[in-house]
Amino acid sequence: MSEINVDVLVIGVGPTGLGAAKRLQQTNLASWLIVDSNETPGGLASTDVTPEGFLYDVGGHVIFSHYKYFDDCINEALPQESDWYTHQRVSYVRFQGGWVPYPFQKNIAVLDPEERARCLEDLVDAALEARVRAAADKPRNFDEWNIRNVGNRLNEIFMHPYNFKVWAVPTTKMNAPNVSARNADPAPTSSSRPSSWPTGRSRRQTERRGGKPGPYWSVTLEVSESAYKPVRHETLLADCVRGLVATELLAPGDEIVSSYVRRFEHGYPTPSVERDGALAESLPHLRDKGILSRGRFGGWKYEVGNQDHSFMQGVEALDNVVSGGIELTLNSPDFVNSRSNTERRLAHFGGLRN
């Protein structure tokens, strides 16, 4: 087998590797190669096609970018307006047979009066306790952080069960975020109105490449799994359909023309209580060996683990290798998430520190 020598080897053709490769191509300052163990590129940010011709993204894969450079790159790749679907985000939480707009904690106005009063009482208690708490008294985990932010009752009926469903890890085993990057802003308001609830059967047509003529609509379900929350694989699809019927998203007689199940070993980089300590040891250790471990699982920082963040971790890692540029995304998640990052542009390249 012939040997290939390059200055930079990029492992993984997911968004992170693609960010690094794009920057390598743009700067043209180093020889490089990008490889993937999978047959198709895209990593988790890819789309599968079912035998019937329906397209399924891995999860939602909505683009909400924090970076102009990322926007420049995707606009270069998909320049036409018709290349994009633009949606208004509408999210609801199924609760006690009804629908509560998300963020739940901001919409307790739609709860029944007794439940609303319990939530409010605990919220007031949490706010009063916060006033007298010493600055050095930090929450030890995500559960404590939630209780301090929304009070006991909202934690009990929403934060705790919701986060367990998402992460498949108890919130007591997850770290307390510095900012509210993991959930929507906890401050409650009463802005929701019944008229903003979902109306019956609003359906979105699924793009289709074959099969019977539509119209079709689709639903994607994410089911988390862990040692804390095992899943019965043999009955997963049937259990999901039962859940859809129970929540009235499907009617019992509805025809399902296509279904698709894919299991991933890794989906979410859980911010465990031990995470920051482990990263403080492992990332410098790898760096000493000439390896920059970056991206959703390479950097293991959920707060900067979306497509835009991952892509930019690749770009910034490359700038760091070639010219010592600062890796803001990996090292300062709150900073990049709190601003529009407009300094780096695709068209403005005039040196590695642009």
Ligand X SMILES: Cc1cc2nc3c(=O)[nH]c(=O)nc-3n(C[C@H](O)[C@H](O)[C@H](O)COP(=O)(O)OP(=O)(O)OC[C@H]3O[C@@H](n4cnc5c(N)ncnc54)[C@H](O)[C@@H]3O)c2cc1C
Binding site for ligand X (CB under 6 A): 11-17, 35-38, 43-45, 58-63, 222, 267, 295-296, 305-308, 310
Q: How far is CA 215 from the centre of its chain?
A: 29
Q: Find the shortest distance in angstroms from Cβ 44 to ligand X.
A: 3
| Nearer to ligand X among residue 43 and residue 186 (C-beta) | 43
Tokens of 289: 């060996």
> 305 and 299 in contact (C-beta within 8 Å)?
yes
Compute the distance between CA of residue 260 and CA of residue 245 in angstroms, rounded to an integer: 18
User: Of the two residues 39 and 281, which places its CB atom closer to ligand X in the complex?
Assistant: 39
Q: Pick between residue 36 and residue 156 the one whose CB is nearest to ligand X.
A: 36
The label of the residue with tokens 């109306």 reads 199
In the complex, least distance from residue 13 CB atom to ligand X, rounded to whole angstroms: 5
Name the minimum Å distance from CB 246 to ligand X.
22
Cβ of residue 65: shortest distance to ligand X, in angstroms? 8
Angle at 27 between CA 25 and CA 28, to 5 degrees: 65
Q: How far is the CB of 345 from ligand X (least distance, A)?
A: 20
Structure tokens at 170: 């108890």
Q: Write phi, then psi, for 172 (nearest 5 degrees).
A: -70, -15
DSSP-derived 3-state class of residue 40: coil
Pick 265 or 281: Cβ nearer ligand X? 265
313: exposed, middle or buried (C-beta count within 10 Å: 0-12, 13-18, 19+)?
buried
Q: How far is the CB of 130 from ligand X (least distance, A)?
A: 32
> Which residue lies nearer to ligand X by CB, 13 or 330?
13
Quote the strand ranges of the chain, DSSP E: 8-11, 32-35, 47-49, 55-57, 92-95, 98-101
- For ligand X, the closer CB: 149 or 307: 307
Buried b (16+ CB within 10 A) or exposed e, 213-247: eeebebeeeeebeeeeeeeeeeeeeeebbeebeee
Output 21 or 154, the one with its CB closest to ligand X: 21
CB of residue 269 to ligand X, shortest distance in Å: 9
